[in-house]
Amino acid sequence: MSKAERKEREREMRRNDIIEAAEKLFFSRGYENVTMDDIAREMELARGTLYLSFKNKDDIYFAIALRASDIVSQMFREIDQRDKTGIEKIRSVCLTYLEFYKKYTGYYMAYYNSGMFNQEGSPEVEELKKIRKNSFRVVVEAVKEGMKDGTIRKDIDPAAATLIMLSMANNALNISPVTRMYMDSYGLTQDDLYDRTLDMMMRSVENVKRAKNKQT
């Protein structure tokens, strides 16, 4: 291994160490409650050392969001979609998205919240956009398949329907204090809310005539 290769390897290792230290703090305290000084202290490094690898805290958060996007994309790829109709594929993706939230809550929050920051030009941002668009396309194509196989209405716009369903799913996972108050008043859990949201999502795109014919 050449000297240059060794230095590059050391830089990459330090970068990963910074990301992992930041993950620990972001996931336990929340993004807003962590500073670059906190991350430096966690690693027992001078603050300036962090800037050799990242421009700022947002830059680190995007690197974590990129890891998150890799995780959820892999989960989507592992869904067994063989012999499933379009609407069944959409349901599988939505349930997998819930699994991602439950199993990797910290990564989910990074994946979701990173869209609020403006880091144009960052390699992580461009890669994250690419992965997100590919994941979005998975559902769009499932909607199109459902329109062809008759399980989904033909009068909807696949991209618009996917965007609406994504918004509904995220709203069921990112519960505001007011929504939580209502849920507590009526004894609804987050699983209840997501199940009912998913049911409404499926009903909104389902080809009702085909469903009724299948039942008779």
Question: Beta partners for 152?
Answer: 206
DSSP, residue by residue, 16-80? HHHHHHHHHHHHHH-GGG--HHHHHHHHT--HHHHTTT-SSHHHHHHHHHHHHHHHHHHHHHTS-
Whole-structure pTM value: 0.86
pLDDT score of 182 more than 90: yes
Q: What is the pLDDT of residue 97?
A: 95
Q: Is 188 left (phi over 0), alpha (psi -120 to 50) or beta?
A: beta
* Average confidence (pLDDT) over 86-105: 95
Note the pLDDT of residue 120: 63
Q: What are phi and psi of 56, to 5 degrees?
A: -165, -175
Residue-range domains of the chain with CATH: 1-54 (1.10.10.60), 58-209 (1.10.357.10)
pLDDT classification of 28: cutoffs 50, 70, 90: very high
Residue 38 has pLDDT above 90, yes or no: yes
Predicted local distance difference test score (pLDDT) of residue 210: 62
Considering the chain, what is the average pLDDT of its residues? 90
pLDDT value at 27 more than 90: yes
Residue 191, Cβ density class (10 Å: 0-12 exposed, 13-18 middle, ≥19 buried): exposed
